[in-house]
Chain A
Amino acid sequence: MDFWFFLIQLLNGVQYGLLLFLVASGLTLIFGIMGIINLAHGAFYMLGAYLAWWLAGVTGSLVAAVLLSLPIAALVGYVIEAVLVRTLYKRDHLDQVLLTYGLILIFNEAQRIFWGNDVHGVAVPQALAWSFKLTETLSYPAYRVVLSVVCGALALVMYFVIAKTRFGMWVRAGASNREMVAALGINVKLLFGLVFAIGAALAGLAGAISTPITSVAPGMGDTVLIICFVVVVIGGVGSVKGAFLGALLIGLADTFGKVFVPDFASFTVYGVMAAVLLWKPRGLFA
């Protein structure tokens, strides 16, 4: 294979993986700390994407739209946790699954009511609408590079927050042993609310910044949700480090799967997951 072609695929795989990480990190923390299997997590990704598309049209700036959609997604997440999810912590996992399934239905319909069934696209901001020229025929879009840098920087920030701050200590304690959180005198309500809101914000951000490279369409949240579950499980539920490696693995598997086995591209992702779980039934880092 041509080196430059390979490089482009590699960059695409890493970029996709980093984007998945933004969504999956919230999902894994919400499960690890709160014990909630949040099927509605993908809805925040969709919410971010639709908000970015809509606000970009209103404000005329994608950057402004992304910055606005971030707090909105966080707020929606916080409210949903406080009003609905909170009532179910003591209940069976499956009740939570059912609740968040109901939320998906509502989110999907709300999207249709507000924004319709059409598929939309968002233009790359003017300042980034250029490409790195690699060879005579191949180039790599600057926006994708920026996207990767932003996601990578956020991953670093997340690492710092979790490893070094007091809030991060709560998160680590909660993810390794849920019962311990209350025993340590941590404000559980606040912690859960924050984790849920931050998870929603990260998923919303991922949806918002991905709009120029993907289409804004109904059902986009469900697709991302399933892939992110795959990521979380490969990495080990509750492990942010695992989610990071799992996301990169899936990003690369998906991208190279499309290159090498185009007929069975979607198969590869699930094949990788099945293989990992048969080797390590509790994921790589659980």
Chain B
Amino acid sequence: MSHSEFILETRALTKAFGGLVANSSVSIGFREHQAHAIIGPNGAGKSTFVNLLTGHLPPSAGEVLFKGASIGGLPAHKVTRLGIGRSYQKTNIFPSFTCFENCRLAAQSRLATSMRFLRPASSYKAVSEQAEAALASAGLAGRSGRVAGTMSYGEQRQLEIAMVLATAPEVLVLDEPLAGMGREESEHMVTLLRDLARRYTLILIEHDMDAVFAIADVLSVMVNGTLLESGPVERVRASKAVQDAYLGDGAEAY
């Protein structure tokens, strides 16, 4: 185990696209088994931050540390193998695969290699069990045979989560899991996320404040590519700077 205080940590993480600085010297630490939400208005740099954290973008400067080791600049497929799973803001599944096949592929990524050519994928029992368990955790136990593209939007969002779970991560990075959901679907998802928060280290990017307050222990606020405030939910919520910049004015909050 890590001797560091944090399981995942960024230090002065910076990303520039040409002249545009999307993330400017962002330093956040994520503690094990905590649910840590990151909020901020559109364009605050949250998505860039997630992409940097999970290797989907290489940082321009600064560091990402996982269990004390630097992982900044590692490609996405290596980062996820370390145990950092992520979901996507826009539903990002394999629509022509069944629900189960989506999760089995995710679980299969934990084999030492998938350069295995002869035995059918269905004969890897442990992989299949892991996929089924992930489907059950995400509330899709009865849906495994459905072709993913034919399911409802809410179910596709659940599948998105199930696929991450199937990769057996330690840290879950969820990029707006509630995006585009109706009220009922949202409530369902919040219940699921609260359950996940008990079992995983959770990093949650979310716009829905009610959901954030219901789930998160720690809250970070990003504005204009920088970290404005970070700390326990109640303290950040009460912060004057955050109130002014973000939470206070309902019109500006979105």
Do chains A and B directly touch (beta carbons under 8 Å) in the complex?
A: no
Please give the residue numbers on chain A whose beta carbons come within 8 Å of chain B beta carbons, in ascending order: none
